Amino acid sequence: MKSVRIEFSPDALAQIRAVHDWWQIHRPAAPELLREELAAALEIIRSSPNAAKAYPFSAIPGLRRLLMSRTRYHIYFTLHEQRALIFVHALWHASRGHGPKL
């Protein structure tokens, strides 16, 4: 696949900012962990989007999610191959017991 760009929904951007702010305050021993793991996860998605699991509990066709194992956040995204685009819909913590409203 040619170079793939990544775009974020407004909700995903707000979630990422909120989680980042929370992380800075509550995880002082590893303040960069979230940023580093998110960057690594986005590279995995960009290079091998089908490595992420399909998420069938949404009306969004082709929705997938990838677990960032150290921070326990999922990235919810769709791949649009024709447009060489990955669209990130949400960043959501695994412990919430349910996925985000999409």
Query: Which CATH number is 64's domain given?
Result: 3.30.2310.20
- Note whether 68 and 37 are within 8 A (CB): yes
Residue 102 domain flag = no
The beta-carbon contacts of 43-52 under 8 Å, at least 24 apart in sequence, are: 45/6, 45/75, 45/77, 45/86, 46/4, 46/6, 46/86, 49/4, 49/77, 49/79, 49/86, 50/79, 52/77
Q: Rounded mean pLDDT of the chain?
A: 91
Indicate the pTM of the whole model. 0.91
Domain limits for position 52: 5-96
- pLDDT score recorded for residue 36: 95
Q: Is 101 domain-assigned?
A: no
List beta partners, residue 6. 86
Count of the separate structural domains present in the chain: 1
How sure is the predictor about 42, in pLDDT bands with cuts at 50, 70 and 90?
A: very high
Q: What percent of the chain has pLDDT over 90?
A: 69
Tell me what pLDDT residue 3 has: 83
Q: Which residue is associated with the tokens 């960032």?
A: 68
Is the pLDDT assigned to residue 43 strictly greater than 70? yes
pLDDT at 1 over 60: no
